Structure 1
């Protein structure tokens, strides 16, 4: 199963009012394990950088001036994503920006059915609790001390760790039970174990139980001192 933890940085909140992407970060997971493969690019938005957005991610108009346009990297981006599932924290936000850029390039948009929203997952799993990326990092004891500002690749890397925890942690691959058992943190018995003499109990080598001569003598002395006419001697 191939999934892509995906994050963006932008010049603002709405592409319909002229805001653009300025950074894309992707981290590849195979069967919920990071492969080390990433996609990261800064983009020239061909417009100014509002102060509010700069305060969030620290990407200035001057820094982005010599970066490629989205149209110049769209092929690389689409090749990296392929048919993988996009794992996004607040998917509606990032998808409206990426699809606006794809539309402007004359490319097909990516359907929401190809995404997983970790905000929705967190709210369902922990009702009433904060669902921000920072809050989830704190809940799962994930080190986010490097996150002094938002950054697409760093946030995608943190999201990968959060997503793994939301889906049961790194132990999920050890579960052989049905979906209700997945992520419970309880190891399930293997098929070899279930095939043992008693279903559900692991097969262990027999332990030596024979008493030593010293133990036998101590036991006989105990019986003689403490028990009169034991019935097993009748």
Structure 2
């Protein structure tokens, strides 16, 4: 497993200091022994310019039964641990959410290995921490302003996807262009309109990619 590019690493490391916003973010907690650390992001393993898609999910769910992180004062070690766990979950298609995410990525990059695909996608949560109870996302934009906005700004060629209403509610105040589709997680992922929304999003992504390729070709021909 490769870590994201250096600039993204530098951006995410303060979340493990621990994040200075613990205590002000409502109900976010940092308990590594119980699996509660900022997590769920993965990809952008090549040049930042190679990332074509940012997949934004809402926030991490409850930690898996075997999800534990060794407590350390080294933020880089936390980053490696959490990235490694996320990689293993996506790589093994551990849950319906991971299965659906892999399906979506495979439609865009057929024939590539998962490691090759990760050069072109950045998977992230709008809010990096899981919480004790459900929180209205519109009431706390601390994490999106501190991390999500900056992640997207580092990826100038990427199309942004919001999966689900909660992810969209985090993205919308940032005034960032994005494509919306149903959540990849059950129960929403099991609703009848879910897969058609993913298919429509894939079509829109492909159209935007072709349009951009056409613009780049015109720029080259005009030189």
Question: Would you call these one fold, judging by a TM-score over 0.5?
Answer: no
- Where is the strand percentage greater, Structure 1 or Structure 2? 1
- Where is the helix percentage greater, Structure 1 or Structure 2? 2
Q: Say which structure, 1 or 2, has more relative contact order (CA 8 Å, 6+ apart).
A: 2
Q: Which has the larger radius of gyration?
A: 1
Scaled by the length of structure 2, what TM-score is found? Answer: 0.28
